[in-house]
């Protein structure tokens, strides 16, 4: 991996490809430490939890200035709600990056691609850098890009499930076919799964539950950082081909030719 291996989103160059969520931490100080040890450059914050009036609870205050803040529209069940939350975030001074999260199913918390697309369309026109979180679907991804999404963020498995890359085949198609960076968001439960996503060619991963609910979140953040880096190097190195048949490096039957 060279210094030139950067990910560019919204005109910003990123060297670290691990994005972090801020939910589910029992202790904000642990969250701060985890962010530090993950070496992340992008952190997402649920606008519904942002509480500027209460300093003690203000998560935003705990995020270092050199980290890009990506407010998300968690809690939105329609495009309209997501749009209003995004506008509120920008008006509150949280920048113009927004992760669109529209979840109308409260049991499995699966994103609603159709509403997400509507919100993406509107917010791009309003000048936001839009990163839509979505169910992996190639055509829906294409439409998000047509609407102006800077990246697409397919889920690996349902949010908070820690079940890994259950949607692997669908994500691979998106990686292979779509023209914008693919960030695997949700479901990644272990560093090895983050590495796997990166080896598949994902441009970044977003992790929250796996770190926030780990026995030692700080060490887990570090492990994820290393795994994402390893996965990226592995992908860039190019894999040897695979074969069903044995291909010995020094053939034993070559003399028969």
Partner 1 sequence: MSFYDKLQHLKGLPIADHLASISPSEIETILTKSRIDEHDFLKLLSPAAEAYLEVMAQKAHQLTVQHFGKTMLLFQPLYLSDYCVNICKYCSFSVDNSFPRRRLTMDEVRKEAEIISDRGIQHIILLSGESRNHSSVAYLIESMSILKDYFASISIEIQPMDTLDYQKLVKAGIDGVTVYQEVYDEKVYSEIHTAGPKRDFRYRLQTPERAAAAGMRTVNIGALLGLDEWRKECFITGLHAAYLQQTFPETEVSVSFPRLRPHAGSYKPKVMITDKHLVQAIVAARLFLPRAGITLSTRERATLRNNLIPLGVTKMSAESSTVVGGYSEPDVTQSQFDISDERSVKEVKEHLQQANYSPVMKDWQLI
Burial class (CB within 10 angstroms; exposed 0-12, middle 13-18, buried 19+) of 146: exposed
Q: Please, what is the minimum distance in Å from the beta carbon of residue 199 to partner 1?
A: 26
Q: Please, what is the minimum distance in Å from the beta carbon of residue 51 to partner 1?
A: 4
Q: Which of 33, 92, 96 is nearest to 70 (CA)?
A: 96
Q: Which pairs with CB-CB distance under 8 Å and at least 24 residues apart come from 216-223?
A: 217/25, 217/30, 217/31, 217/33, 217/34, 218/30, 218/33, 218/34, 218/37, 219/37, 220/34, 220/191, 221/20, 221/33, 221/34, 221/35, 221/37, 221/38, 222/37, 222/38, 223/191
Told to judge if 99 belongs to the known catalytic residues of this protein, a careful annotator would answer: yes
- Cα angle 213, 108, 209; round to 5: 15
Which CB sits closer to partner 1, 47 or 182?
47
Q: Please, what is the minimum distance in Å from the beta carbon of residue 184 to partner 1?
A: 19
Residue 253: φ, ψ to 5°: -115, 15
Q: Please, what is the minimum distance in Å from the beta carbon of residue 177 to partner 1?
A: 30
Which CB sits closer to partner 1, 57 or 137?
57
Per the CB < 8 A criterion, the answer to whether 117 and 90 are in contact is: no
Which CB sits closer to partner 1, 7 or 123?
123
Residues constituting the chain: 257
> Going by C-beta distance under 8 Å and a sequence separation of 6 or more, which residues neighbour residue 64?
35, 36
Please state, in angstroms and rounded to a whole number, the distance separating the CA atoms of residues 57 and 144.
34
> Which residues sit at the interface with partner 1, rule CB under 8 A?
23-28, 47-51, 54, 57, 75, 77, 81, 84-85, 88, 104-109, 160-162, 209, 212-213
Which CB sits closer to partner 1, 26 or 238?
26
Classified as helix, coil or strand, 164 is coil
Which CB sits closer to partner 1, 84 or 168?
84
Q: Please, what is the minimum distance in Å from the beta carbon of residue 245 to partner 1?
A: 38
Question: How many Cα atoms occupy the beta-carbon half-sphere of 51 within 13 Å?
Answer: 6
Given the residues 99, 118, 168, 190, the one annotated as active site: 99
Which CB sits closer to partner 1, 83 or 202?
83
DSSP conformational letter for 240:
P
Q: Please, what is the minimum distance in Å from the beta carbon of residue 59 to partner 1?
A: 10
- Catalytically active residues are 99
């Amino acid at each position: 991996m060279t210094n030139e291996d950067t990910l560019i989103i919204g005109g910003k160059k990123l060297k670290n490809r691990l994005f972090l969520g801020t939910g589910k931490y029992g202790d904000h100080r642990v969250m701060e430490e985890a962010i530090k040890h993950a070496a992340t450059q992008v952190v997402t914050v649920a606008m519904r939890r942002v509480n500027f009036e209460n300093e003690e609870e203000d998560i935003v205050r705990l995020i270092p200035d050199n980290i890009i803040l990506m407010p998300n529209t968690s809690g939105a069940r329609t495009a309209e709600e997501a749009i209003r939350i995004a506008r509120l975030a920008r008006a509150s001074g949280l920048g113009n990056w927004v992760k669109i999260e529209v979840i109308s199913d409260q049991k499995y918390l699966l994103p609603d691609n159709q509403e997400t697309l509507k919100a993406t369309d509107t917010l791009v026109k309003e000048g936001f850098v839009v990163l839509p979180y979505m169910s992996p679907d190639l055509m829906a991804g294409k439409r998000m890009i047509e609407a102006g999404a800077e990246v697409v963020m397919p889920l690996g498995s349902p949010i908070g499930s820690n079940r890994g890359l259950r949607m692997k085949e669908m994500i691979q198609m998106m990686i292979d076919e779509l023209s914008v960076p693919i960030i695997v968001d949700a479901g990644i439960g272990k560093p090895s799964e983050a590495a796997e996503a990166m080896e598949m060619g994902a441009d970044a991963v977003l992790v929250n539950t796996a770190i926030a609910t780990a026995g030692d979140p700080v060490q887990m953040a570090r492990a994820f950082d290393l795994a994402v880096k390893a996965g990226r190097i592995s992908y860039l190195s190019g894999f040897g081909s695979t074969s069903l048949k044995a291909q010995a490096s020094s053939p034993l039957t070559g003399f028969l030719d």
